[in-house]
Amino acid sequence: MPAIFQTIYQELCQTLFRQSGFTAAAEPFLRQLIPAHRAGLYRARILSITPQAGCLRLRLKVSRRFPAFVAGQHLQLHVELNGRLLERTFSICSAEQRLSELRELELAVQIQPQGRFTGALPGTLCPGMYVHLSRPVGDFCFERQLPAYLIAAGSGVTPLFSMLSSISRLTQPMTFIYSFRGQTRQLFAMEWAALQAKFPLLRLVLWDSEKQGRLTPERLLGELQADLQAHFYLCGPQQFTVDFSSALLNAGVAKAAIRSESFGIVVPPNGEIQPVVLQLGQQSHQLGGHGSLLQRAEQTGLTVPYGCRRGVCMQCLCEKNSGVVRNLLTGELSDAGPGRIQLCVSEAVSPVTVKSVEISA
């Protein structure tokens, strides 16, 4: 029954307002009443901004409408930069209880000085300003099965820190290993002592790789004597999680006991043909060939909407999920995050995934 109401509601909104919903139609008016209102996104007010270890720690106040999250989940932070609404994905680093009790969230945004998004944040954001959040998603969550090893490298510590601070009571041993490069790069430096005091059963390993050398799977199993019966949560750069999970698997840890999440920035090698995945409707296609993404799609035998093939008519506009593309007209490089590109004037300079923008009937 609700499905039918949903359909009727949508058809009515399409007919009367040519919009997917009433709030989208009323957005111009709502914006007059609620500053910075945006349909489909949650508004958040910046309470404080603290630079720490190359990151910006954003303390955000959200309304009652913001849904509950599970520690370890991530969300998209949307910020209006020079008129453009740009978004990037970040893990929540605060405890679940802070949201339910204070309606507060915290994100640690790693600043890449060259990045179009994070590079512009320090000069743009100030306390009192509004940013927008998507609903928290992701299945990298703490299962509360102990004993557990939480192993983080670099800014991969954020979701694990949220998991740790969301725990109210530890009844079994738990190990938290955080590897960082130098004291100046250590996140949450002020909070570790308090957490250690709160949980006597917690074994906290703050691994300064500048002093102690790189944390490798061998050293985890050797020096740190990891318990192979435990559950493992890994978060860090792609290479880190791949190395650790394969080493743990080889050492006899069950596959189901390892959970990992990774991030990483791709550095484009020159002149190589990059793998491109084009998602059309429900199907994903690996593109062969060479040239612009549109040419490659066609050489692969796909029918993609196009028009002018010179970057004017916008018919081949697609949603890029990730990867860097070069604009063939201007030579401009895109950033690595999501964005809209025209296939006819874009060339992949890193592995790219693009998705056709679905046409609503």
Partner 1 sequence: MELKQSQQPDAVQLQALATELDQLLQTEKAALGEADAVYLQRLVFWQRCCALTGRLGLLLCWFSWWWLLPCILLLALAKILDNMEIGHNVLHGQYDFLRHPTLNSQRFEWDIVCDAKSWQRTHNFEHHTYTNIIGEDRDFGYGLLRLSDDLRWRLQNSWQLFTYFVLSTLFQWGIAYHELAAQRVFIGKKKPGRFSQISDRQLKKAFFTKARRQLAKDYLFYPLLCWPVAVPVLIGNFAANLLRNWWTSTVIFCGHFTEQAQVFQPEQCQNESRGHWYYRQILGSSNFSGPRWLHILTGHLSCQIEHHLFPDLPAWRYPALSAKVQQIAHKYGIAYNTGSFFRQYLTVLKRIWRYSWP
Interface residues toward partner 1, by CB under 8 A: 14-16, 18-20, 24, 27-29, 31-32, 38-40, 80, 82-86, 303, 305-308, 312-315, 317, 330, 339-340, 357, 359-361
Between 270 and 303, name the residue whose CB sits nearer to partner 1.
303
8 A C-beta contact, residue 214 and residue 153: no
Closest alpha carbon to 343 in 301, 303, 315, 324: 315
Q: How near is the Cβ of 126 to partner 1 at its closest, in Å?
A: 16
Between 85 and 194, name the residue whose CB sits nearer to partner 1.
85
Between 25 and 141, name the residue whose CB sits nearer to partner 1.
25
- Rounded-to-integer distance, Cα 231 and Cα 174, Å: 10
Q: How near is the Cβ of 25 to partner 1 at its closest, in Å?
A: 8
Q: How near is the Cβ of 15 to partner 1 at its closest, in Å?
A: 4
Between 194 and 357, name the residue whose CB sits nearer to partner 1.
357
Between 27 and 208, name the residue whose CB sits nearer to partner 1.
27
Q: How near is the Cβ of 321 to partner 1 at its closest, in Å?
A: 14
Between 20 and 295, name the residue whose CB sits nearer to partner 1.
20
Between 15 and 283, name the residue whose CB sits nearer to partner 1.
15
Q: How near is the Cβ of 127 to partner 1 at its closest, in Å?
A: 21
Q: How near is the Cβ of 290 to partner 1 at its closest, in Å?
A: 23
Q: How near is the Cβ of 347 to partner 1 at its closest, in Å?
A: 19
